A and B are shown apart, each in its own frame.
Chain A
Amino acid sequence: MQVLLRSPNKIMKLSKLGSFHQSKLSFLRSFLDEFKDWEYKRDLFDLDKKGYGTVIYSFKKKERVYSLICFANEIDEEDRSDRVIATKWDAAFTLHDGTPSKNDIERLRNEVPKQEIGRLSYKELTLSRANKSIRIFNHVVDSLSKGNQPDLKLIEKVGYLYRTTAVYGSGKFGLADRFRIKNREEINGPFRLEMMLVYLVRQFTFDQVNHIAKSKNPRNAVKLDSKICKKLGIGNSTGLGMAPFIVNHPTLLNNWILSREIALKKIREIKIIKSNEIKIFKNSLSNSIKHITSWNTESEYQQNKINYLLKDVQKFLKFLETKFTFGASYPFNEIYLWLEQNTGDECIEYIVSMMMEPFDYIIKPLISQMSSEEDLYFTIPTHRTVKNLKDIIEKRYSDILKINFEKEENIKNFWFISKNKEEPRYANRFEENGSDLEQPLAIARDIKKLHGQILISKVNLTIDKFLIKNSDLRHVVRRAFVIEKFPYSEIQDNTIGEKVIPIDMLRLKLSFFGALKFDPRSDKWLRISMFQGAPLPNELKNFDQQWIYNY
């Protein structure tokens, strides 16, 4: 039996993309798999009694070493802010390529805590900073110093000791460009080194609380129980900075979504499912319920989504127990078709992610196809004709062409780069200044405009001639030829309309990172948790592959 890939017109809608969940394809999970047999070490631990100072961790294999350098600083309470516009943080981190020399450490001590206004070098790969979650950090230190383990309820409610507010890579602020590392065997998936940084930062948070507790009360202090450590991840506050990324990297976006879609298609095409595969799927599903019920958010929007998810998953469990048998042929196809008929997007995508759990032989080859050589598709094939372009647009953007951009509601917002922080922002075009400096992220509107120009051009005109008079549409001409080859490269929605929920774009990207517990704080930023439940570095050699559901 052959199952078709799901249509981009259905999948690439913002509401659908905003319902994606982590899966075995997610970058933090594939990072752990890739680095599980690397040698982990804490190379330097130089903190004072209050936990301020320098710590270095490394992953090593043969001649290759990656070192995380952590600088923990004392800051005033009023300086602690999760906004990207903050200038001081409790700790700042960089991932250094190799073993840093003393000179490197001194250089980085001056630069890394400054973050965006510091300068890194080609020897550094990623950069980040984080703030303590004060209520839990202080509670954990106090408890440990008194010889007690912290309150599990609080641990589970918050889920992390530190929250990062940005993780930079790929040439930002002088960091190494991707071309320097992309051919390394271990960098065979996107965001590998960003994930390594976050993972090692998590270990730093445990080592720091243990150290402070011990310094406070050397006689009675105990270490944070490793089972509790595993319940803790790293928090992250994420704003609109992520949203333009998925518009600006169309072939990369395609490769992420396409991998997911191919995985689903292949799983639906399996005729007979083995008993151990059924067991993995069923266990993951039943264990995941507690994650849904412990998913805390004050956002009404997200609460509704969680409620629907819980209701639908329970409905699905009942269906599995009473009306379904894995003995039938193509059972996952049956399950998928049932989900489409009986549940909402949140649940469909949740179960789709879970279907991947038993099938490493399908998932692992896909992981190495999730990067992209974007420059290969940058040059516009100008020998093609207007007819070719028209056909592509009408085939690939059919829903976009139905939008009326004469209506105010459909052009209400615009994307711009803020002057003070060089960060993407989103504003009402009719209420705020700056729409003349709009970023080229209103792809739907510009595609429709391009289509309008095409309709009044000669069909046999070649693109080089068409561009002479339509230079303002060059960016979307390029995209149209990209989507011809990469059908999942474009969001099939209007990103500037009145009804857009920008966090849907963030959620899409974060789900591929492997983030959990999306907690929207407005329609423009949210908090998440990463690596919650993940094995600790000393457990990497042999860990439970379904850790994400089983902690």
Chain B
Amino acid sequence: MKSLSEIDTTSKRASKAIGFSWGVAEEIGKSVRLLELFGLEGIKTLNRYYNLKIKEKFENLELINKNNISKKYPYCPIILGISFLDQIRNLEKFEIITFNKISFPLLVLPFLSRSSEIIGKKINISFEKTEFLLNFNVNISSNLLNKNCPDIANNVEIKIIDNKDNFLEQDWKSLYKLSEETFVEETDSSKKGAAGAGLTDND
């Protein structure tokens, strides 16, 4: 089994070799490490992308807008991912950001994951029947477990999710009521002796 440290170093060096700058290569090393840590196919996908990158062209999306359309080639997942990470504070206001086609979308996930941590909001990425939820860089949820992630993602939608409960108030009340059963009724004397129960707070 390869260690995460080996995965990071080798991905970084391979990324420099394929033509990225050292600073970008460092980002890729960390990203592939994160994918593998979360049980996703980072090494395999990066390898497939680099094999294709030698032969085919990809669009570098350096400034992300609300709607992003590449007319000819699919977007490079690395440059798109880094741009997303760098520009996340501006992108946050869009709430939904779309891309018509991204190559190897799995490679974008670590950048979205780190972006989620920066703004403190969950980020959802969906295309066709695939969906990933990035949770503050703590984990990545997906409906794609044990299935291959497509090499091309069409009509991609990235949604920045506002911090709100994902349960009904009714569910909360019901659970809270149950939790009350751990509380004990206070007597008058315990009320008098509790913190903040002095005659004055100006002492």
A interface, CB within 8 angstroms of B = 121-122, 170-179, 375, 378-380, 382-383, 417, 440, 463-464, 467-468, 471-478
Q: Which of A175, A178, A379, A468 contacts B118 (CB 8 A)?
A: A379
Q: Which of A379, A472, A473, A475 contacts B85 (CB 8 A)?
A: A379
B62 to chain A minimum Cβ distance, whole angstroms, is 5
Are B1 and A473 interface neighbours, CB within 8 A? no
CA distance A477 to B44 in the complex (A): 30
**Which of B3-11, B124-132, B142-150 contacts the other chain?**
B3-11
Contact partners of A417 in chain B: CB under 8 A: 13
Are A174 and B2 interface neighbours, CB within 8 A? yes
Q: Which of B6, B23, B83, B89 contacts A478 (CB 8 A)?
A: B23
CA distance A475 to B27 in the complex (A): 9
Least CB separation from A476: chain B residue: B23
Are A474 and B63 interface neighbours, CB within 8 A? no
CA distance A179 to B6 in the complex (A): 13
B157 interfacial contact with A, CB 8 Å = no
**In the complex with contacts A172-B3, A177-B3, A378-B30, A464-B24 CB distance below 8 A:** no
CA distance A122 to B37 in the complex (A): 14
Are B1 and A122 interface neighbours, CB within 8 A? yes
Q: Which of A375, A464, A473 contacts B30 (CB 8 A)?
A: A375
B interface, CB within 8 angstroms of A = 1-6, 13, 21-24, 26-27, 30, 62-63, 83, 85-87, 89-90, 114, 118
Are A171 and B23 interface neighbours, CB within 8 A? no
Known: A464-B87, A471-B23, A475-B23. 16 other contacts (CB 8 A): A172-B5, A173-B6, A175-B3, A379-B118, A382-B86, A382-B87, A383-B89, A417-B13, A440-B22, A440-B23, A468-B62, A468-B63, A471-B24, A473-B23, A474-B27, A475-B22
Are B4 and A177 interface neighbours, CB within 8 A? yes
Contact partners of B63 in chain A: CB under 8 A: 468
A360 to chain B minimum Cβ distance, whole angstroms, is 34
Are B26 and A478 interface neighbours, CB within 8 A? yes
CA distance A179 to B33 in the complex (A): 12
**In the complex with contacts A383-B89, A468-B62, A471-B21, A171-B4 CB distance below 8 A:** yes
Contact partners of B114 in chain A: CB under 8 A: 379
CA distance A122 to B1 in the complex (A): 8
Q: Which of B1, B85, B87 contacts A121 (CB 8 A)?
A: B1
Contact partners of A122 in chain B: CB under 8 A: 1, 3
CA distance A417 to B83 in the complex (A): 30
Are A475 and B30 interface neighbours, CB within 8 A? no
Are A174 and B22 interface neighbours, CB within 8 A? no
A194 to chain B minimum Cβ distance, whole angstroms, is 14
CA distance A455 to B1 in the complex (A): 47
CA distance A382 to B22 in the complex (A): 18
CA distance A493 to B87 in the complex (A): 33
Are A170 and B24 interface neighbours, CB within 8 A? no
**In the complex with contacts A471-B24, A474-B24, A171-B89 CB distance below 8 A:** no
6 contacts between A and B (CB under 8 A): A121-B1, A174-B3, A382-B89, A471-B23, A472-B23, A477-B23
